[in-house]
Structure 1
């Protein structure tokens, strides 16, 4: 991806400060910390960073930018992995950070709903909801840093998609500042509202290209009183698909997570967290980390023990361990989370986020890894992900001692090889991370003409001058003739 890094002139920043006040505008050296991506792979710039405190401030910021001909790049926790919140035209783009808008406007246990501002950090919001005796099920590795508005704007996935769905399925209503500064007020908590087109859906997953989400009304669930977590050893990844089908039958909708990992996951996790102890003896070709949860009269621990005992007896699995405490469960999940940290410690690498039909997941991993190994024999494949929704993170680690240019060349080639295999499976190049700027070329190359026409029509209807997050998702053409 090409990103401009030329010097940003100061005059537009001064004009923004004059229009909005010094409290809302950051310029100069303070801008830098907002202009680097989560992994530190990309560093760019911006005219200024705007930090509104309210929806009214956001509206004023958008109007001021429009008057100056500046594009607005909305930013939440800046934990995204596809450069959706990083400017690629720093001389004409402003970052609008929602980090000050953190208020939880309401939590209603009787209505099983909450209204929260877009800048609230996910983990902090989940804690407040738990204090009220409720549960918000969105769970991500970055939940200590990511923010609700970004979760909605990217339609984030996470480990609980299997039971609770993507973020889209947790949203009841939205408040959004539109490109002309007007406010779409749709913070309803109604479960059933069939009054025509559901406008909030336009903004979920749009990555800020149609407006800036300032507040969200979400569904809440009863707090799970019992959680059972198990790590299971298998003879092959194909067995994970069979095991998943069995678990869906025997555990029904109580299953909240079903993750697959390769043996290398444990090595990588321990490189990042050295004091992690191996939870079971021996090395197996594939592993599943499974969780079921519930409340009320159901005995979750007994259900997990009976399920695991039955599949062991049927020789569907080779080995398994059930966490006997919350602390032990947390340590099992640390292998899944630490694996990502371990990959980062090995240096720049390809991070993919693809999806295929669930029934073909094992075949895809086998074919894609074989194709990468043939094309790049000195690289290491690490495949893991969410069995229940067909989401695979097939990452590729080049040798860390190569010059950066050679590493980048291997990353690009590995991506091309994987996407070629993916196309034969009629899969998606983005399962849960979004498109942003990083995946835009891959998205555009596979976009049918009719779908492109519809997307462009929506964009130009809502944002004809292309003020919102220009350069993200697609190369749109607006009424002004910009692109």
Structure 2
């Protein structure tokens, strides 16, 4: 291992090869504090060629590689195991905007760019990069790609698979594949970029991408609406889509329990309207604000919407979005919880919540459900804890039983146990219960073919064993 460390120092410079415990600590713990690992070292390459050189050296030494972006994973996907053998490849120095092409509506960026930096670069040329996440100031494009991130505007623009035209990646043997093409049509064989999107670093290290841009909306109307139930929220969603089609760009569902945590823990948070069991946060882009207001008035008159508010300014719209985006942070402050990132058909959202809530309440009296998410695409964050934070350490021991109830309910409704957070270490074994055997076999066949030594992020996704 000393020989490998010497080689890495020669390739990158000693200051970019971190071995001291204090220097490496931030890279060895996931955002939730759930997973802690160890590493031979953390390296910080400055460009794709240096990434390739690092991976070649690790491949020659048969040492595992764990790619890491902003380290905001919620599933432990970027945290090494406890063996201390792996090299963590931190991509934060690959942070350049390579080209912006407004006429082609594309932007080419390195993998270490934060999502916020890409949004800002697009906005500077009057364009929109629509991926929007609560962690956008720290999460990086490479991680967004590796987990096929979704966010609040999938309803209109799709997730990272739909937002990506080209990709550059370092393969497990250290070869650099350059597929940075800004083409909408390229029918010359397999769409290789799709192998790496959502693969969580198990097939290679993403180093750059060509992403789609869109016209920057001229107007946005943001509203916070009270609804009595998830079923009424789904009905409202479809009425909004019928009335406004693609001008409906976000439609989020928030429970009163989730909002209550934000009001309790996030300074400056205020309730935007009267209390309700459920809320919808909707955004309309380039729609006539007067038409939106008239439509909402009709929904109130019909009883489908109770109280609510329409943002009168951009600042007020940001405050409404802050209530939604702060839920995860408020939960972290509150204490540990058992988290789920699931998706079911939009039409089954109400049924999932009713069935899962009832089954969990019967099995675990006093359980608290924090439910929120992207009702427009069927993706819910369904998190469970006890109302008394002191009881949660013991409650965590029940995670296998809790997961079984939640995931069995999702599976019965033909849903998925991971919608946008990935598998990582958290669901690595759980996925084997729900994925058909033929799918697992295909995944392992691909992984063995591309990474026969099993050195790329070996702790994430079902392994090649």
Aligned to 1:266: 259
Look up the SS of the partner of 1:277 in the other structure. Answer: coil
> Deviations for 1:350-403, whole angstroms, at most 9, x for unmatched residues?
111001111111110111011111111122111111111111111101231137
Give the 4+ runs in structure 1 shifted more than 6 A.
Answer: none
State whether residues 343 and 418 of structure 2, in contact with CA within 8 Å, keep that contact through their aligned partners in structure 1. yes
- Shift, 1:423, TM fit: 2.2
State whether residues 66 and 467 of structure 1, in contact with CA within 8 Å, keep that contact through their aligned partners in structure 2. yes
Aligned to 1:131: 124
1:188 to 181, 203, 215: 181
- Shift, 1:89, TM fit: 4.4
Aligned to 2:321: 333
1:473 to 458, 461, 465: 461
State whether residues 272 and 339 of structure 1, in contact with CA within 8 Å, keep that contact through their aligned partners in structure 2. no
Partner Cα distance (2:259, 2:410) in 1: 27
- Structure 1 residue 434 and structure 2 residue 439: aligned? no
- Shift, 1:28, TM fit: 2.1
Partner Cα distance (1:372, 1:168) in 2: 34
State whether residues 13 and 27 of structure 1, in contact with CA within 8 Å, keep that contact through their aligned partners in structure 2. no
Look up the SS of the partner of 2:67 in the other structure. Answer: strand
- Higher mean C-alpha displacement, 136-145 vs 302-311: 302-311
47 and 284 in structure 1: CA distance in 2 versus 1, 3 angstrom threshold: same
Aligned to 2:223: 230
- Shift, 1:447, TM fit: 2.3
> Deviations for 1:203-231, whole angstroms, at most 9, x for unmatched residues?
11011111111000011011111110011
Aligned to 1:481: none
2:111 to 118, 121, 124: 118
Look up the SS of the partner of 1:201 in the other structure. Answer: helix
Aligned to 2:193: 200
- Shift, 1:411, TM fit: 3.4
Name the TM-score, length of structure 2 as normaliser: 0.96
1:345 to 326, 330, 333: 333
Partner Cα distance (2:57, 2:126) in 1: 42
> Deviations for 1:259-296, whole angstroms, at most 9, x for unmatched residues?
11111222111112232222113x222111100112xx
- Structure 1 residue 17 and structure 2 residue 6: aligned? no
- Shift, 1:74, TM fit: 0.3
Partner Cα distance (2:342, 2:407) in 1: 9
Look up the SS of the partner of 1:260 in the other structure. Answer: strand
State whether residues 261 and 385 of structure 1, in contact with CA within 8 Å, keep that contact through their aligned partners in structure 2. yes
State whether residues 100 and 106 of structure 2, in contact with CA within 8 Å, keep that contact through their aligned partners in structure 1. yes
| Structure 1 residues without counterparts, runs of 5 or longer | 1-8, 478-483
Partner Cα distance (1:459, 1:273) in 2: 43
Partner Cα distance (2:151, 2:334) in 1: 24
- Shift, 1:126, TM fit: 0.8
Q: Count residues in correspondence.
A: 463
Q: Kindly report which structure 2 residues correspond to 1:59-98, keeping only aligned pairs within 5 A, or say none.
A: 59-98=52-91
Partner Cα distance (1:265, 1:434) in 2: 22
| Structure 2 residues without counterparts, runs of 5 or longer | none
Partner Cα distance (2:90, 2:374) in 1: 31
